[in-house]
Every structure is written in C-alpha cells, then in structure tokens.
Structure 1
Amino acid sequence: MINEFIKAFSLIFLAEMGDKTQLLALAFATQYRLISVLTGIGIGAFLNHSLAIALGIYISSFIDGVIIQMIAGAAFVGFSIWTLRVEDEDDEDSGKTKGFGPVLTVAVAFFIGELGDKTQLTAVALAIDSSVPVLTLAGTVSGMLATGLLGIIVGRYIGGRIPELTVKIFASVIFMGLGLVKLYNSVPVRYLTTTNIVLFLLIVSVALAMSTYSIVRMKRQGMESALKARFRELQEYYVLMNSKIDSVCLGTGACVNCKGPDCPVDCIKSLVRCRLRLGTDMELDYLSQDFETSGKSFDKEKVIDCIRLTEEAMEIERNSDETRELETVMALLRELLD
C-alpha cells in the first residue's frame, strides 16, 4: 500500500518542479513566516486534491478498468506535454489574493491557482488507478508541501540559477514514460498497428516540439518567467536597501540620544535583513510603535533616495501581496522626514 503514497508523492513532486507553485511559495515566503506558508500550502492542496480524488473515485466506479488505464495513460502523456508549457504572467498571477491572514491567504491562493492545473488532473488520474485513495491523497499533498519547501530553500540560496529547463524536461520524460507504458499495457492489441503507433507518435512529437520550442527560445533569449523576474527585482531592492540604510543614520555624534531598536532606521534595518533571511519569525508590527524623531539627525538626501527606491519596488509589486512589507518600509522612511 505504501507504493500508492510513494507514487503519488513522486509524480506530484516532479509535476511541480520549476512550476508556478514553487515560485508562488517563494513569493509568499518573502512576506510570511515559513510555517504559515507551508500550513497554507497544505490546506490549499488538501482541499484541491480532495476534490480531485473524489472525482477520480467516482469515475472509476462506473468505467471499465481497461478504459481507466487507457485514460490514465493518455492523461500522463498530456501532462508530459503540459509540463513543458511556458506559463505567462496571467497564469502566475492567478493565485493572488488579498485581505486574508497569512495562512488563509496562502491556502486560498494555492486552492484557486491549482484548479484545473495539471497537478489537480494528475491527482484525478492517480485516484482512478488507486486502490487506497487516502494514501494517494496523502502522497499528493505531501508532494505539494515538499516541492513548495524545496522551492523556497533553493530560491533562497541560488535564486535565478534554478535550472528550470532541465527540471521541466526531466519531469516531462517521467510523465511520458509512465503514460506510454500504461497505454502499451492497456490498449487492445488490435489497435496497436504500425499505422496507429506512427500516427500517435507523430502527434505527440509535434506537440512536444511546440511546447519545447517556446521554453528553449525563452532560455536562449535569457528570458525568465514574470513571477521569477519580480522576485529577483524585489530581492535586488532589499540587497540595495541593506547597503544604503546604514548611511542614513549620521551616528551617535550627530544624534545625542540614540534610540537603538526604537529608531525607525534600526527598524528598517531589521525588516530588510529579516527579508533577506527567509523564514524568520519577524512580525510587521513596527507601525504600532511611537517613534520619537524630533531633534534627531538623518541624512535627508539618503532618506529621499531610499524612498525613491522603495517607490520603484512598490510599482513593480503593485497589486501583489508583497506590498505590505514595502508599505511598512515606506512609512518608516517617511517618519525620518517628519
């Protein structure tokens, strides 16, 4: 029975490698605590895949086993082609939500973002062929959690060097192999004629070539997905802010009574450096503090420069969940000009 879990885990893990799920998890991890992000992913995946498993069980209850195997095989071949698809910005923005708490925000985003996606359809295909649906569900949800966590960790340490093309091709090959084996073992012998096989392989080859062309072209032109580009730009902003914010404070010689942690500059430093260490427990509660900046000396030009940088970052991240942290930084910077 454990094979049901391993199979589901492995296929979902492979299906989501380099996909928007990892990038979405990484984006949420720039704002929320790691435990909140993973909890949200787990809830969203559980609800989404529960629907998929239920559908798979329903389908398998009235369709002949041989036909089920053929459907599953064809589905895996389709997933192989789908895996190579380059997602556009609309796809990657589809999971955005606002106005909820961290866990609910992530859960809703993943639930909506995976509706009709290949991961949900993979879960349906797995359920059709499963003898223990509960283990299949556990495997698919665990696979989503694992790929999300890996995306956060890998993105944190190697960022733009994630080999998306290699990962997608590897996952595509696995799906294709499983699909072809299922089809070969389930399609009646009378249909396995040379003509039918050649025609099938020709159609699949054309579809694979079309999917591969777009992703190879993107790789050659040095292009990157919209969400990945936004993450890189946001990361660059925090790295730059980390180097600039120290120069805003003129030191204890100019500021008689240093407030330390109660100073907006120190709070900005903490926020920026927290952001550069994904998964910390830092909460964005600085605006509830009562700052005293009168009589304090700051380099106003440097403050204005930091405000300009933050405005540019907010423009990049407009209408996204990352704006909350940027708005906090902006409010703290403006405290320095009052």
Structure 2
Amino acid sequence: MEVPVAPELIALFTAFGVIFLAELPDKTMVATLVLTTRYRAWPVFVGVTVAFAVQCVVAATFGGVLTLLPDRLVAGIVALLFGVGAFLLLKESFAADDEESAESGSGGAVTFRRAALTSFGVLFAAEWGDASQLATAALSARYGAPVFVGVGAFLALVVVAGIAVLVGRKIAGRIPTHLIQRVSGAIFAVFAAVAAWQAIMG
C-alpha cells in the first residue's frame, strides 16, 4: 500500500534537491569558501545563513515577480560589492606590517560582528538574480507552497555553506594567509568583472 506524500513535502524536497545541485559549483559556494579562509568560520556561517534566509523569504514570497527586477541594476550592485571585496582583500595581502598580517591570519583582528556583516553583505549581493533565487521563485509559483519551498531552498543553501566552511578552514590551515588573500581577491575581482560585463551588455 502506497503512502500518499503531501504536496507541501514534495515542494520542500524538490526545492532542496534543485537548489543543492545548483549551488555546489556556483559562485555562492566559492564566495563562502573564500570568506572562510579570511575570517573565522562561525561568524562567516552566521552571516551567510542570515543572508540566505532573507533571500529565500524574498524569492519564495514574490515568486515569479522576482524575475521582473532590472537585470542590469542587480548586476551593477553585485559588481560593485565584489569589487570592494577584491580591493580590500588585495590591499591587506600586500600590507607591509607583519604584525597586522599575523593578526589577520589568525582572525583575531576582526570582530565577530564585522566578519558576520561582511559575509552577509557579500552573499546577499551574490544571491540577487542568482540561479538559486530564480529557481526558488519559480518553484514557489509552481507548487503554490512558498513556505515549504523557502524552507527547502534555505536548508540546501545552509548545507552548501557548511561544506564550504569546512573546506575553507582546511585550506586556511595549510596555505600562507597572504597567498589565500591574494587568490581570494583575484576570485572576487573575477566575480566583479563578470557582473560588470552583465550590467553593461545586459
């Protein structure tokens, strides 16, 4: 005898599977990993988790309306934020003060609040117009169960962020801090360039 599955649970598991697969190779995971090599793991995880929660609420609530936002404006904001992040990371990596560099490597010079807010800002920007947000909006409209779709998408993003944080901490413990910062800055610069190109070309 088959046990009927509630449509809401189908929506939740579908959202989880779709978003999880979409985010594994996406810039969201890369950005989280990069942030974890720069800051302590816990504030990064808190910051990105809150960003994901807000984005999932927006996507699930507004459904298909989200796709009507101006693409160029969204891309321009994303490019600006990633550009600022790249500048700060590269500037710090080339700093001459050894003591400052050592403190940055240990994460002691950066407060929990600053690291969490930075992580929130970067991931909040990265998720605007991202495939996962658009997929969440589409699934919300498709199933008519925004709460369950939002929860499924949020859980998938949290799992991906957890994987990125764990990988990031292992990398940070084996590679010199200044090298991590330079590579991270370069990655952020690439994200900024791609978003700027999208903003210009539409």
Q: TM-score range by the shorter chain?
A: 0.5 to 0.7
Residue of structure 1 aligned with 2:58, choices 51, 73, 76: 51
SS at match of 1:18: coil
Q: Given residue 30 of structure 2, which amino acid in structure 1 is its aligned partner?
A: L
Alignment RMSD (CA, Å): 3.6
For the 8 Å contact 2:29–2:160, the answer to whether it is kept is yes
Change (3 A) 1:150 1:317: closer
Distance 2:29 2:62 in 1: 25
For the 8 Å contact 1:41–1:144, the answer to whether it is kept is no
Q: Given residue 85 of structure 2, which amino acid in structure 1 is its aligned partner?
A: K
- The Cα of 1:17 is off from its aligned counterpart by 0.6
Which residue is equivalent to 1:13? 20
Q: Report Cα offsets for 1:278-307 as digits up to 9, x if no partner.
A: xxxxxxxxxxxxxxxxxxxxxxxxxxxxxx
What is the number of equivalent residue pairs in this alignment?
145
Which residue is equivalent to 1:111? 124
SS at match of 2:159: helix
Change (3 A) 1:152 1:112: same
- The Cα of 1:32 is off from its aligned counterpart by 2.8
Change (3 A) 1:132 1:314: closer
Q: Given residue 176 of structure 2, which amino acid in structure 1 is its aligned partner?
A: Y
Higher share of residues assigned helix: 2
Percent identical across equivalent pairs? Answer: 23
Residue of structure 1 aligned with 2:143, choices 108, 130, 136: 130
Which has the greater radius of gyration? 1
- The Cα of 1:34 is off from its aligned counterpart by 2.4
SS at match of 1:101: helix
- With the length of structure 1 as denominator, give the TM-score of the two structures: 0.37
Higher relative contact order (CA 8 A, sep 6+): 2
Which residue is equivalent to 2:85? 96
Q: Given residue 31 of structure 1, which amino acid in structure 2 is its aligned partner?
A: R
Residue of structure 2 aligned with 1:27, choices 30, 34, 52: 34
Change (3 A) 1:4 1:154: same
Change (3 A) 1:317 1:10: closer
Distance 2:17 2:25 in 1: 14
Does residue 147 (structure 1) correspond to residue 160 (structure 2)? The answer is yes
Does residue 237 (structure 1) correspond to residue 180 (structure 2)? The answer is no
Distance 1:132 1:115 in 2: 21
For the 8 Å contact 1:12–1:140, the answer to whether it is kept is yes
Change (3 A) 1:94 1:12: farther
SS at match of 1:116: coil
Structure 1 gaps, min length 5: 60-89, 160-230, 239-309, 322-338
SS at match of 2:140: helix
Change (3 A) 1:319 1:139: same
1:1-338 → structure 2 map (5 Å cutoff): 1-56=8-63, 93=82, 96=85, 101-156=114-169, 236-238=175-177
SS at match of 1:236: coil
